[in-house]
Amino acid sequence: MPSLIDFRRRIRSVKNTQQITKAMKMVSAAKLRRAQDRVIAARPYVAQMREMLANLTQAAQSDERASESVWLARREPKNVDLILITSDKGLAGAFNSNLIKASQRFLAERPDAKVAMTLVGRKGRDFFKRRDAAIIGEYIHILAKPAYADAATVAREVIRRYREGETDAVYIINNDFKSVMTQTLSVVQLLPIDLPAPESKPDANAPVRDYIYEQSPLEMLERMMPRFVEVAIFRAMLETGASEHAARMTAMDKASSNAKDVIESLTLYMNRVRQAAITKEIIEVVSGAAAAS
């Protein structure tokens, strides 16, 4: 049985770990507030952009040059680009492993397609680099403070490959932030963008938007689609960043609670060992006194 010194050393070690997990929880909570504000601010912009592109796409399809547009074309997905967004750090529960498993399912579901990966985040990069995956781009240390310029850099190569016909479809896998306790996996097709048709009977309470195009809708589509891809990647980075902080906050809270349980259990065992030692010494003293008399 371990001695009292061993128990004290173990309890001291667990307490030190508990202090670290509590500090990490507080840091993640502070970062989550800022990340959540950025996500909430970005969502309406992306939604309005999708609505505008839906109207623009419908108008562009009536153009006689529509068949020449790469954005309106539909090709058989023999070559696919996958953008996977993970975090740069661990200690966030199953956050990164769920994203990596989703990407592995994505690859398994397309055995006949040639999938090239763009990896954002060190965890995903390290995982697939060890498995000799087809990696066309890797970006680390940008998810802590996502900037639009970083998303544009990620999108630039993807857009170029799609324009030049090197890839037939582009997907993105990330985590969408719902709440502190809930983050949902998201697998979205970026290119070709599957835009819903504009509603013929919009909600009576919603504002009616009737777009008047001064330029050719097809020319506007050529300009807007690359920007939309950049915005969509930027939103995915913001969503994943907020989800990471929420997952780490939850994981560190559970770790602190588990550390408390371990400390209580070790303290109980230590008291039992100490009580047994005291009882043994008392018995030895009484036995010695009885023998002397």
In the chain, where does the domain assigned CATH 1.10.287.80 lie?
Answer: 4-23+252-292
pLDDT score recorded for residue 200: 47
Average pLDDT (60-70) is 76
Distances (CA, A) of 84 to 37, 98, 108, 128: 23, 12, 15, 11
pLDDT score recorded for residue 207: 55
Which SS3 state, helix, strand or coil, does residue 191 take? strand
Q: If you search the block for the tokens 């309406």, which residue do you land on?
A: 44
Q: How far apart are the first and last CA of the chain?
A: 34
Which SS3 state, helix, strand or coil, does residue 38 take? helix
Average pLDDT (214-239) is 89
pLDDT score recorded for residue 47: 87
Which SS3 state, helix, strand or coil, does residue 190 take? strand
Q: If you search the block for the tokens 């967004």, which residue do you land on?
A: 85
| Lowest mean pLDDT segment, chosen from 70-84, 192-206, 213-227 | 192-206
Average pLDDT (20-36) is 92
Average pLDDT (211-217) is 78
Contact present, 81 and 158 (Cβ < 8 Å) = yes
List the beta bridge partners of residue 116: 81
Question: Per residue in 69-103, pLDDT tens?
Answer: 888 888 888 999 999 999 999 889 899 999 999 99
Question: Per residue in 89-144, pLDDT tens?
Answer: 988 989 999 999 999 999 999 999 999 999 999 999 999 999 888 999 999 999 88
pLDDT score recorded for residue 287: 81
**Whole-angstrom Cα distance, residue 148 to residue 293?**
90
Domain 26-196+210-250 CATH superfamily = ATP synthase, F1 complex, gamma subunit (3.40.1380.10)
**Whole-angstrom Cα distance, residue 98 to residue 174?**
10
**CA-based angle 121:127:129, to the nearest 5?**
95
pLDDT score recorded for residue 202: 47
The percentage of the chain sitting over the pLDDT mark of 70, rounded to a whole number, equals: 94
In the chain, where does the domain assigned CATH 3.40.1380.10 lie?
Answer: 26-196+210-250
Distances (CA, A) of 291 to 163, 201, 277, 283: 99, 103, 21, 12
pLDDT score recorded for residue 160: 93
**Whole-angstrom Cα distance, residue 39 to residue 29?**
15
The answer on pLDDT for 53 being more than 80 is: yes
279 or 237, greater pLDDT: 237
- In sequence order, the 6+-apart residues with CB closer than 8 A to the CB of 68 are none
pLDDT score recorded for residue 261: 93
DSSP annotation of 208: P
**Whole-angstrom Cα distance, residue 36 to residue 180?**
10
pLDDT score recorded for residue 61: 76
Average pLDDT (162-175) is 93
Token pair recorded at residue 264: 């209580």
**Whole-angstrom Cα distance, residue 188 to residue 185?**
10
**Using 50, 70 and 90 to split pLDDT, how confident is the model at 39?**
very high
The answer on pLDDT for 182 being more than 90 is: no
* Fold classified for 4-23+252-292: Helix Hairpins (1.10.287)
Q: If you search the block for the tokens 């952009």, which residue do you land on?
A: 49
**Using 50, 70 and 90 to split pLDDT, how confident is the model at 280?**
confident
pLDDT score recorded for residue 57: 82
Half-sphere exposure of 225 (CA within 13 A, CB side): 27
Q: In whole numbers, what is the pLDDT of the chain averaged over residues?
A: 87
Closest alpha carbon to 175 in 81, 244, 251, 97: 244
Contact present, 234 and 42 (Cβ < 8 Å) = yes
**Whole-angstrom Cα distance, residue 245 to residue 253?**
12
What is the model's pTM? Answer: 0.84
Token pair recorded at residue 105: 């399912």
Token pair recorded at residue 124: 């995903």
